[in-house]
Amino acid sequence: MEKVLSIVPRWLPALLVMFAIFLFSSRPGDSLPDFLDWDYVVKKSGHFIGYGLLALSYFRGLKFDKKYYRLAWLMAVAYSATDEFHQSFVVGRTASIFDVVIFDNLGAVFALWLYSFYRRKDEVEIHTA
């Protein structure tokens, strides 16, 4: 039981991000806000940021072990694909492989790259100090 209780806090951020993504994609098309000229940019940025956060939260669940970068990325892209499938059943919404391959994938890759970049930078500063 103690081991389970230690796992839950590590994976809670991933569960919360997954839940938030699911809620956003469950909204019918006619209930979505319209950002006028910026609509496309805002919504695709949401994909990029959301899946970047999801990849990082998966990586956190995997104890930030650098051998699991690819697994965290793959988990985020897999969730993206399943969420697009789910979205195909929501009134006024469509599934888009383009969202998965471009925005969600790149958001996950960029977030993990950014994390690794700053992690290496910190390691270099520690070793030179």
- Total domains in the chain come to 1
pLDDT tens sequence across 77-123? 999 999 999 999 999 999 999 999 999 999 999 999 999 998 887 66
What pLDDT, on the 0 to 100 scale, is given for residue 3?
Answer: 75
Can you give the pLDDT at residue 121?
72
Give the C-alpha separation, 103 to 99, whole Å.
5
Work out the average pLDDT over 60-79: 97
Q: Say whether pLDDT at 6 is over 90.
A: no
User: Does 129 score more than 60 pLDDT?
Assistant: no
What's the pTM? 0.91
Domain that holds residue 79: 2-128
Per-residue pLDDT of 23-50, as tens digits, reads 999 999 999 999 999 999 999 999 999 9
